[in-house]
């Protein structure tokens, strides 16, 4: 699985810069329908300055059924994003004119395009910062194209599932209101800025308010089951969520830690002031 990408250079579209908006807005060709995806070919924006990675990865992803657009810098990524919104962004962090985190912040200020961060082995801090900034997942270099494609599919599936749950009715508990239809969360009437994962986590906990949700269940529902590092990631997200809710872990109004088991969101009665 950790096999690095070989130098196979057969990109159908050799130059990402040559096909910006037109490709992003392109109508999928007939026969490109992928039943698992419910619509045609998904467009992946690959932000990566190393051509020895981006080119073979782009062509491998094309063989896996995705369309790819390459951006080799923060500036180029912003240009491509201004032209059209991709279905997902694969994001390298070390770019010649800045950090991939700048692109991530830009993306999160503008919407919720799924983002998978490409990190170097051993750079755990990068992964945690990326996830706190709202990345959906990460892969560690060196990676195989198959591994990246699997992550992309998993992230797109979750995003689609989340959209299909968009008609759920709003949940209101003790001054906190989560509205899946608007994908918004308000605390005492003030809108909270949550990352996608923080939102998913909160939604999952609030749906079962008053009962314990196990760590395994949360990881399975909000992340991938087999996600390396997910245990720590869950704790990172719970603490950032608590911070945004102004919830004191020692005397929680909302999120209770059930040590060794999971978390429990307060029932409406409990959360009443
Ligand atoms: Ca780089």
pLDDT of residue 269: 85
CA 240 to centroid of ligand 1, rounded, Å: 28
Residues in the chain: 273
| CA 208 to centroid of ligand 1, rounded, Å | 42
Q: CA 240, CA 242: separation in Å to the nearest integer?
A: 5
The pLDDT assigned to 246 comes to: 95
Angle subtended at Cα 176 by Cα 170 and Cα 234, rounded to the nearest 5 degrees: 95
Cis amide leading into 94 (omega within 30) = no
Q: How far is the CA of 93 from the centre of ligand 1 (A)?
A: 6
Q: How much is the pLDDT for 25?
A: 41
* Interval between CA 95 and ligand 1 midpoint (Å): 5
Amino acid 50: pLDDT = 95
Between the CA of 90 and the centroid of ligand 1 the distance, in Å, is: 12
Strand (E) or helix (H) holding 78: helix 74-83
d(CA 55, CA 48): 9
How does strand 94-95 pair with strand 98-99?
antiparallel
Residue 217 pairs in a beta bridge with none
Beta-carbon-side half-sphere exposure of residue 255 (alpha carbons within 13 Å): 25
Distance from the alpha carbon of residue 50 to the mean position of ligand 1, in angstroms: 6
pLDDT of residue 72: 97
Q: Distance from the CA of 72 to the center of ligand 1, in angstroms? A: 8
Q: Over the stretch 167-218, which tens digit does the pLDDT of each residue have?
A: 467 899 999 999 988 889 999 999 999 988 899 999 999 988 888 988 888 8
User: Residue 146 C-alpha to ligand 1 middle, in angstroms?
Assistant: 20
Strands 184-187 and 190-191: antiparallel
The parts of the chain modelled with pLDDT lower than 70 are 1-40, 162-168, 224-230, 273
Helix then strand count (H, E) for the chain reads: 10, 14
Task: Give CA–CA dist 47/198, Å, rounded.
Answer: 24
- Note whether 203 and 133 are within 8 A (CB): no
Q: List Cβ neighbours of 190 (8 Å cut-off, separation of 6 or more).
A: none
DSSP-assigned beta bridge partners for residue 90: 46, 116
In the chain the first and final C-alpha atoms are separated, in Å, by: 51
**Residues sharing a CB contact under 8 Å with residue 174, sequence separation 6 or more, in sequence order:** 253, 254, 266, 268, 270, 271, 272, 273
Rounded CA gap, 272 and 211, in Å?
Answer: 17
Beta bridge partners of 119: 140
Ligand 1 centre to CA of 38 (Å) is 33
């Amino acid at each position: 699985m950790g096999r690095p990408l070989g130098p196979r250079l057969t990109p159908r579209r050799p130059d990402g810069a040559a096909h910006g908006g037109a490709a992003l807005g392109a109508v999928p060709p007939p026969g490109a329908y992928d039943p698992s995806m419910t619509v045609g070919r998904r467009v992946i924006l690959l932000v990566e300055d190393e051509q020895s990675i981006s080119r073979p990865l782009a062509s491998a992803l094309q063989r896996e059924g995705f369309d790819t657009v390459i951006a080799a810098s923060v500036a180029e990524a912003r240009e491509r994003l201004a032209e059209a919104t991709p279905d997902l962004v694969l994001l390298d962090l070390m770019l010649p004119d800045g950090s991939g985190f700048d692109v991530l912040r830009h993306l999160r200020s503008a919407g919720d395009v799924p983002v998978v961060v490409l990190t170097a082995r051993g750079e755990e801090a990068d992964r945690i910062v990326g996830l706190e900034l709202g990345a959906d997942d990460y892969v560690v270099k060196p990676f195989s194209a198959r591994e990246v494609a699997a992550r992309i599919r998993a992230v797109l599936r979750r995003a689609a599932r989340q959209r299909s749950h968009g008609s759920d009715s709003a949940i209101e508990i003790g001054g906190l209101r989560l509205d899946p239809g608007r994908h918004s969360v308000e605390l005492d009437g003030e809108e909270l800025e949550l990352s996608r994962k923080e939102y998913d986590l909160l939604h999952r906990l609030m749906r079962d308010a008053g009962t314990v949700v196990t760590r395994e269940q949360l990881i399975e529902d909000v992340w991938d089951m087999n996600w390396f590092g997910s245990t720590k990631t869950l704790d990172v997200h719970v603490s950032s969520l608590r911070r945004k809710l102004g919830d004191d872990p020692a005397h929680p109004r909302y999120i209770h830690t059930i040590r060794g088991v999971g978390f429990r969101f307060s029932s409406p009665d409990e959360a009443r002031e």
